[in-house]
Amino acid sequence: MTLKAFRITIRPHGPWRTPWRADVLAGSLVSAVIRVAGADEVVQNIIRPAFEGRHAFAVSDATPKGCVPAPMSLQNLEWPFEYLKPIKRIRFVQRKVIDDLRNGRYPTIETLLKSQPVMSRRHVLVRNSINREFHTTGYEDGGGLYNEEVEWPEAPHLDIAVRCEDQAFDWLKSAFELLAHAGFGGGRSVGRGAFDIVEPLARDEWYDKRHPDGAWMALGCFQPASRDPTDGLWRAFRKDGWFSQELGAPQAEKEPMMLLEAGACFKGMNDDGCLGRAIDCTRELADMASRKWFQEQGLAVAHFALAPAIWIGKPSW
CA dihedral for 222, 223, 225, 230, sign (positive or negative) = positive
Reply yes or no on whether the pLDDT at 316 is more than 80.
yes
Q: What is the pLDDT of residue 143?
A: 55
Q: How far apart, in whole angstroms, are the C-alpha atoms of residue 37 and residue 39? A: 7
Rounded-to-integer distance, Cα 270 and Cα 310, Å: 11
Q: How far is residue 301's CA from residue 286's CA, in Å, rounded to a whole number? A: 10
By the 8 A CB rule, do 123 and 150 touch? Answer: yes
Q: Kindly report the number of other CB atoms within 10 A of residue 35's CB atom.
A: 13
Rounded to 10°, the helix 22-37/166-182 angle is 100
Element (H, E) at 35: helix 22-37
pLDDT tens-digit readout, 196-214? 999 999 999 999 988 777 8
Please state the rounded mean pLDDT for residues 296-310: 89
The pLDDT value given to residue 267: 94
What phi and psi values does residue 94 have, to the nearest 5 degrees? -70, 155
Instruction: Write the single-letter amino acid at 68.
Output: V
Query: Rounded mean pLDDT of the chain?
Result: 87
Distance (Å, rounded) from C-alpha 267 to C-alpha 272? 15
Q: Is 125 helix (H, G, I), strand (E, B) or coil?
A: strand
Give the containing element (helix H, strand E) for 42: helix 39-42
pLDDT at 128 over 70: no
Residues 14-28, mean pLDDT to the nearest whole number: 92
pLDDT for 311 beyond 90 = yes
**Angstrom distances, CA of residue 145 to CA of 131, 133, 235, 302:** 12, 17, 36, 35
